[in-house]
Amino acid sequence: MNVYAIAYKNLLRKKIRTALTAGGIMLSAWVLATLLGFNRGYQQGLNRDIDNMGFQVLLTAKGCPYEAATLMLKGGTGLRYMPESVVKTVFKNPEVEKVTPMLMHGVFDPNKGENGAVAAYLGVDSESFPPMKPYLEFKQGGWFKSNTALEAVLGYEAAELETREAGDKLLIPGLDQELTVVGVLKRSGTQDDGTIFLPISTVQNLFNRKGMLTGLGIKVKKEADISALENRLYDLPDVQVVSMAQVKTTIMNLVNSARVIVLGIAGIALIIAMAGVINTILMSVMERYSEIGILKSMGAMPLDVFRMIWMETAILCGLGGAAGIGLAFVTARVSEAAVRYFLPYAPNGALVALDGEITGFAFLLILAGGLLSGVYPAWRAARVRPLDAIRVEGDQV
């Protein structure tokens, strides 16, 4: 029988104690893998949401840039208006590849729910907007024929809610104005799913906002210096520049601050699990004091005893760690639902992204922590003197 088999059999001698210790390690591994997966998933989701906007820089009227960006990301209304002439000014910059003007307008609809709600319409340019959003595909129909057409394109969820299909009519509350639905988009998993798109000039005309915009999306050329462009845009009067890279960095900084706290909690869980491992293995060594003495009197070297005890720790941590990572995979969607409950404005897509790198790292960290915890009990066992151990056995008899 080799040292691995002996270590395994020793663990089975106290099944409940072994199971409880492995359970503690499993929970630590689960928390660690889930948190690391959440960090990656959130970052990927944020990148995807921002990339799906189709532009790297957003120009809005003066106001709080983060509020404006958040509202735009979630398809809300802009804060103020800026003149349409800004399009030409921005286009003069050599870094700019494309621009797309947008005008968001909300109308209070008293017939939605008990107290009414705002119905929001996003006016977009029929020529420049679609190329900026190449990922948008149509379930039915297509984009508007012109920027003045009384037509609408509905995101997937907006169409579901309003039970609209291409050819159906929409009525703008309060204006008594009919529009024809000319397209329904496929589900994209972005904020566009809940958006009602209208031609920009139609929105300007209907809501008396001629020559006004709430946002200007700017797509920058591939090799262009975005910072240089941003610095020049900052000089424009009464507009503010929302760099999606900055928004991403700011949100990630906030997420990272929260992550440090949560990882601290995971670290405490890991330390508690390690203390449990030390306790379990040390108790096991104490209980087998005389047995270890007999092993040594039969010729086992201190290194053999050390390896045997250390192997018990390795098996315990290996099994607990693997079970914890398995649990993280199984409960990933539940964890994601819980995160979404507390963070309703979290990015779209999978929030807990587990992969080989993350789970491998979590497993190795748990294993390393466990092996470190096993050093002291293994060292104590290796130092047992055979005569003392046999004498203790004799005294007990």
Partner 1 sequence: MDVPYTLYDIYKDKEIVGYIHGVNQKGEYGGIQVFLALDKAGTVKAFYIQKLTSRAAKDLRSKEFGAQFKGLALKDFSPYDPAAAKGAPAKLKAPSKAGKDFQAVLRAVKKNLILLDEFVFSKKEK
- By CB under 8 A, name the binding residues for partner 1: 109-114, 160-164, 169-171, 173, 176, 178
Give the CA distances from residue 68 to residues 11, 32, 127, 138, 333, in Å, rounded to whole numbers and listed in that order: 59, 35, 24, 28, 31
CB of 156 to partner 1, least distance (A): 10
CA distance 343 to 351: 11
CB of 207 to partner 1, least distance (A): 17
CB of 352 to partner 1, least distance (A): 23
CB of 283 to partner 1, least distance (A): 51
- Classify residue 167 by burial, with Cβ atoms within 10 Å: 0-12, 13-18, 19+: exposed
- Residues 229/220, Cβ–Cβ less than 8 Å: yes
Q: Report strand pairing: 169-172 vs 239-243.
A: unpaired
Nearest residue (CB) to partner 1, 167 versus 360? 167
CB of 353 to partner 1, least distance (A): 25
CB of 176 to partner 1, least distance (A): 7
Output the six-digit token pair for 24: 């503690």
CA angle 183, 187, 188 (to 5 degrees): 105
- Residues 67/79, Cβ–Cβ less than 8 Å: yes
For the CA atoms of 233, 235, 241, 244, the dihedral, rounded to the nearest 10 degrees, stands at: 50
Ramachandran area for residue 174 (φ above 0: left; ψ -120 to 50: alpha; else beta):
left
CB of 162 to partner 1, least distance (A): 4
Output the six-digit token pair for 188: 């994209």
Nearest residue (CB) to partner 1, 184 versus 278? 184
List, in order, residues 6 or more apart from 253 with CB less than 8 Å away: none
User: How far does the chain reach from its first CA to its final CA, in angstroms?
Assistant: 29
List, in order, residues 6 or more apart from 30 with CB less than 8 Å away: 324, 325, 327, 328, 331
CA distance 50 to 73: 8
Nearest residue (CB) to partner 1, 171 versus 330? 171
Nearest residue (CB) to partner 1, 121 versus 310? 121
CB of 129 to partner 1, least distance (A): 24
Nearest residue (CB) to partner 1, 174 versus 211? 174
Nearest residue (CB) to partner 1, 97 versus 160? 160
CB of 169 to partner 1, least distance (A): 6
Nearest residue (CB) to partner 1, 107 versus 236? 107
Nearest residue (CB) to partner 1, 173 versus 326? 173
Nearest residue (CB) to partner 1, 10 versus 191? 191
